[in-house]
């Protein structure tokens, strides 16, 4: 069974203390999660109650809902097979870029290709958004005030929950700076300026790996 959009509470679900006011979130019921795992739904509820599987409750109902990203993470952590139909559901991208014009341009190109995109304008807000959003890919500028791109890259690669996140560095940094990013764990680099087609090719290639 495929993950589905929970359309009954599309605008005001809460998760980890955040108000989910983005587009509808792809979620699973406990029954759907149980079928994917080949267990009884009560087993899934026990996983949730014991803190092994992340979930949130529907307001006023008490029914659990599980974000697809959290469910896939749970399966991988417990060495359980990930259904093919769930692997391709996460097309979310976080754009970390302090220049508004560049951030808007990247966001526009990606949205046109069907990606779900959020923007973080500095390294500090990027950390918060990463933990909430769990994107499949991050585009990262290196030259930002405060917490720069190298520090953000370090943060991503030193946190297990983001270990599988692809990082595409988009920067006008020198060759040495870009090579440093690769050494720190960047998945690929895209020097500025670039063509829209180059951006899309890099993103699609990384998400297929």
What are the extents of the domains in the chain?
4-83, 92-208
Structural tokens at position 93 = 């991208």
| Whole-number Å distance between alpha carbons of 111 and 32 | 29
Q: What is the structure's pLDDT at 88?
A: 58
Q: 177 with 142: CB under 8 angstroms?
A: yes
pLDDT by residue, tens only, the chain of 209 residues: 344 433 333 333 333 333 333 334 478 999 999 999 999 999 999 999 999 999 998 888 789 999 887 888 888 788 888 776 776 556 789 999 999 999 999 999 999 988 889 999 998 899 889 888 888 899 999 988 888 999 999 999 998 888 889 999 999 999 999 999 999 999 999 999 999 999 999 998 998 75
Q: What is the structure's pLDDT at 112?
A: 92
Write the CA distances from 101 to 1, 104, 121, 155, 156, integer angstroms. 41, 5, 11, 25, 25
Going across the sheet that includes 4-5, the strands are 4-5, 26-29, 64-67, 56-57
Q: Which CATH number applies to 92-208?
A: 3.40.50.2300
Q: What is the structure's pLDDT at 87?
A: 63
Q: So what's the architecture of 4-83 in CATH?
A: Orthogonal Bundle (1.10)
């Amino acid at each position: 069974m495929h993950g589905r959009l929970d359309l009954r509470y599309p605008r005001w679900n809460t998760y980890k203390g955040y108000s989910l006011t983005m587009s509808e979130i792809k979620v699973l019921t406990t029954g759907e999660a149980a079928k994917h795992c080949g267990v009884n739904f009560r087993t899934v509820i026990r996983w949730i109650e014991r803190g092994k599987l992340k979930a949130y409750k529907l307001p006023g109902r008490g029914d659990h809902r599980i974000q697809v990203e959290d469910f896939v993470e749970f399966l991988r952590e417990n060495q359980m097979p990930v259904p093919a139909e769930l692997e391709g559901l996460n097309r979310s991208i976080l754009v970390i870029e302090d220049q508004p014009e560049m951030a808007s341009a990247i966001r526009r190109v990606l949205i046109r290709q069907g990606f779900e995109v959020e923007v973080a304008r500095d390294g500090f807000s990027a950390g918060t958004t990463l933990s909430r959003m769990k994107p499949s890919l991050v585009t990262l500028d290196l030259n930002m005030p405060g917490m720069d791109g190298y520090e953000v890259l370090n943060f991503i690669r030193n946190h297990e929950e983001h270990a599988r996140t692809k990082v595409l560095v988009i920067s006008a940094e020198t060759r040495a700076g870009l090579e440093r990013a690769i050494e720190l764990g960047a998945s690929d680099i895209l020097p500025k300026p670039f063509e829209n087609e180059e951006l899309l090719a890099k993103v699609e290639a990384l998400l297929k790996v």
